Amino acid sequence: MTERPTLLPGEIAHQNFEAGYIALSYAVSYVGSVTTLELLNRRTGSRGWYNWSLLVGSAISMGSIAIWGMHFIGNRAIILDYGVESHQLMYNSSFTALSFFLPIIVLLSAYMFIGAGEDVSIVRVSIGGTTAGLAVVLMHYLGQFGITNYTSVYKIPFVVGSVIIAILASNVALMIFFVSRSRWAGTWWKRIGCSFVLAGAVSGMHWLATVGTNYRLRNAALPKSALDRKQTVIVVGTLCVFTCTCLLAYAIVVGAKARQMVTKVRKVTLSAVIFDPDGRLMVSTSGSLPTEVITDTLNSLLDQEFSKEHPVFLWFYRVSRSWTAVKDIVSGMQQHLRHVDLKKIGTEEQSELNLVFRELLCVAAKKLSEQLRHPLESLGALHDDILHTSSNSRSRVNTPVGPSDVEKLRKVSGGRGQTLFIYREVSREEASRLQAHGYRFATVKVALDVVARSLQVQREVLSEHLKNMRDASQIESILEPGVHLGCFACRANIDGGFDVLVQKLQPNLIPSVQLPISAPTDEFKLLVQSFHGMTLTNVLRMLEIKRDSVSGSERPLIEEMRSSVRALTKAYPDTFWQDAIFSSVPVTMPCRSGNVEVEHATAQMFVFRTIVPIHQRELSDGVRMAPFDFFTTQQRTFSTSRDHEVLARQIHSEFSGLSERYLRSPKPSFISPRLRAFLWPMSKRPTTAEKTLVENPFANIMISQAVDVHSAKTSMEIHELDTLRTAGAAVVVREVEEPTWAEDYFHLLMSKPRSP
């Protein structure tokens, strides 16, 4: 065997590489890259400890594992001087520590510059990618400078090539990642692909530079190193194991959350739909809406299908527009529910079951507000429809529904669960706060697919719901102050009850047009009184006659009335309007207050009323049918309505009357009464009233200054309706809600019409 020559100071060491360590170095870089991109993907903004922790964690994982760890594991693959142990690379501890922290700081600044918004700036990502590539280069050559026993000799073409590879590959990886992230297409397999490219940038730069590097021995007396080859592998290996453990724990947590979301959508749930001023939708980092389970025992709780016509839904619809009515008693509801066995709830009386379900709704809303770290009173309003989850949610083909099938859809849920939505629009300051707590805002178009999959619903169905909620969250649908002309039409429902005709875009309003006058004048009142009891066709005919027969100041008024009636029939060109009966008694309706006091802002409407034939299914584009009970509920939920005060008193009165079996059970005492009396002889014993207040979370003292008892009317003639409206205008504190104008007109519609 030929004797191996001895390496002398100043000579270039022979080098070769171990393939196992080369593969290990790439694996280390890949693990760090995956961790980095996953942490960056979960960032939702630039504010809050949550986002800052993710930012710092991503810089550490990239700088310490993907770059620093890969470098030192890769250098372990370099075998110098034919494997002589004392002639292998050794490092200076100070430079090794500096090479560890410096790329972390550089990467932290690069990721901060790129930002975490949904709008991707190509310039920012390019600068950030270039900075990240330079961080790789900086760490490599700084680590090489820390070698104590050799002097590195570089070949300039290889140095330039390594810099180009690091910068180019880093830009490509980060560009793909941030663009796909902004489009909510950043699925796990795309992040894996980007991680391969990013790890390739680090490894490619390292090995191209390594191939172009020679090592010249400094002196024969090799220095001692605080960090030799084996110690380097141990340190880096420990960091990698720790990172892999964190990734495994994260995968388990994400998988559990995904399974939990699938389980949720099979129940009755409450989800928050929050828009920012730009119309972007708020979602979690996984793409789902904030959701709380209401119940999974709906069928046993209710005696009929849970829909927008159910009394509990109508009640919760009103409560969601007046959260102050329940915010102080939700804790009492939670106490009550702790003592309710939902598995045996089917044996209770139906009135009590409805009460329990109302409590479940309020408690779910409270939990949702806590999840969002938002006060309950500003949580948002309940959407006017219920979304059914289905097993074929990925299907994007809409089944055509004919007019005759509309009624049948009410009885078909076809799914495994139901979702209620609470919606609102937040300010920019509130949006920033929510981002700081870990939520993201993305355009509806971008987030739609991910949200639809998480809810297990069809994309088109969810898109329509979100559009309606977005429109409703921007401005309240309410009449403007002034004089209006409307049409009140009802149709019998084949499943029972009645539907009312409403505007398609503003379903809480009947079809109407506004007249160009601010208030009814005496001349106008005389004019409309002359049309009382006439059909719409006869009203138009009389207006034509009057317009041709009068002159002077009356003519413009008649022309305005005629134009308004024609505008109404043109906007809603349905044939059944021709027989609608006109009422000359104006209805005072809620309206937008504007810059004036609510009491002084009024909207008065003169109404044509008619019954739509039950076989009439084809309607004009601007209208649709809505359940009458739901429509009357909407008339009580306008922001200017005083029914909110009545609802609050009713809720407190109802829940303060719960029986003793619903009250919180006293906690067991570990001190006997005699011993307690001996230790605290002067303690005041609670009175019966105080004991009730302590034990009964719903106990309240209700004081009313006045009670308006509305007498029932045996005949709903038109002059009585006028009296009713006048009496209803009085400002009093009521304990019983008066009928809405819609209920009064419905009674008039169902009664025999009076001839003119």
| Contacts for 509 with CB less than 8 Å, ≥ 6 apart | 477, 478, 479, 502, 503
| Contacts for 71 with CB less than 8 Å, ≥ 6 apart | 25, 99, 139, 140, 143, 206
Of 616-630, 654-668, 681-695, the least confident: 681-695
> How far, in Å, CA of 655 to CA of 658, rounded?
6
Tell me, what's the pLDDT at 534? 92
The yes-or-no answer to whether 265-395+410-474 and 482-629 have a common fold is: yes
Pick the residue with more confidence: 738 or 414?
Answer: 738
- The CA-atom distances, in angstroms, between 22 and each of 19, 28, 206, 581 are 5, 10, 11, 89
- The CA-atom distances, in angstroms, between 68 and each of 29, 94, 160, 525 are 9, 14, 20, 87
Band of pLDDT at residue 343, cut at 50, 70 and 90? low
Secondary structure element (H or E) that encloses residue 473, with its range: helix 459-474
Domain range summary for the chain, segments of one domain joined by +: 15-257, 265-395+410-474, 482-629
Band of pLDDT at residue 18, cut at 50, 70 and 90? confident
Q: What radius of gyration do the chain's Cα atoms show?
A: 37
* Per-chain mean pLDDT for the chain: 76
Mean pLDDT, residues 188-203 taken together: 78
Tell me, what's the pLDDT at 485? 94
Pick the residue with more confidence: 5 or 9?
Answer: 9
| Contacts for 6 with CB less than 8 Å, ≥ 6 apart | none
Tell me, what's the pLDDT at 262? 52
Identify the CA nearest to 655 among candidates 325, 265, 376.
325
Tell me, what's the pLDDT at 230? 63
- The CA-atom distances, in angstroms, between 149 and each of 168, 213, 473 are 33, 15, 70
Looking at residue 382, what DSSP letter applies?
E
Fold of 482-629: Nucleoside Triphosphate Pyrophosphohydrolase (3.90.79)
Band of pLDDT at residue 668, cut at 50, 70 and 90? very low
Identify the CA nearest to 245 among candidates 549, 31, 509, 470.
31
Q: Can you read off the two tokens belonging to residue 288?
A: 């789902």
Tell me, what's the pLDDT at 703? 34
Identify the CA nearest to 91 among candidates 77, 75, 107.
75
Identify the CA nearest to 433 among candidates 577, 282, 630, 214.
282
> How far, in Å, CA of 38 to CA of 187, rounded?
10
pLDDT at 730 over 50: no
pLDDT at 442 over 70: yes
Pick the residue with more confidence: 349 or 357?
Answer: 357
Cβ atoms of 736 and 704 within 8 Å: the answer is no
Band of pLDDT at residue 437, cut at 50, 70 and 90? confident
Percent of the chain residues past pLDDT 90, beyond the cut: 18
For 465-602, where are the E strands, in sequence order? Answer: 482-492, 498-503, 512-514, 581-582, 587-589
Band of pLDDT at residue 731, cut at 50, 70 and 90? very low
Fold of 265-395+410-474: Nucleoside Triphosphate Pyrophosphohydrolase (3.90.79)
Please list the residues that pair with 216 across neighbouring strands: 12, 151
Torsions phi, psi of 653, nearest 5? -65, -40
Identify the CA nearest to 286 among candidates 196, 188, 390.
188
Band of pLDDT at residue 697, cut at 50, 70 and 90? very low
Percent of the chain residues past pLDDT 70, beyond the cut: 71
Pick the residue with more confidence: 197 or 258?
Answer: 197
| Apex 647 CA angle, 644 and 649, nearest 5 | 115
Exposure string over 53-86, b if 16+ CB within 10 A, otherwise e: ebbebbbbbbbbbbbbbbbbbbbbbbbbbeeeee
> How far, in Å, CA of 431 to CA of 446, rounded?
18
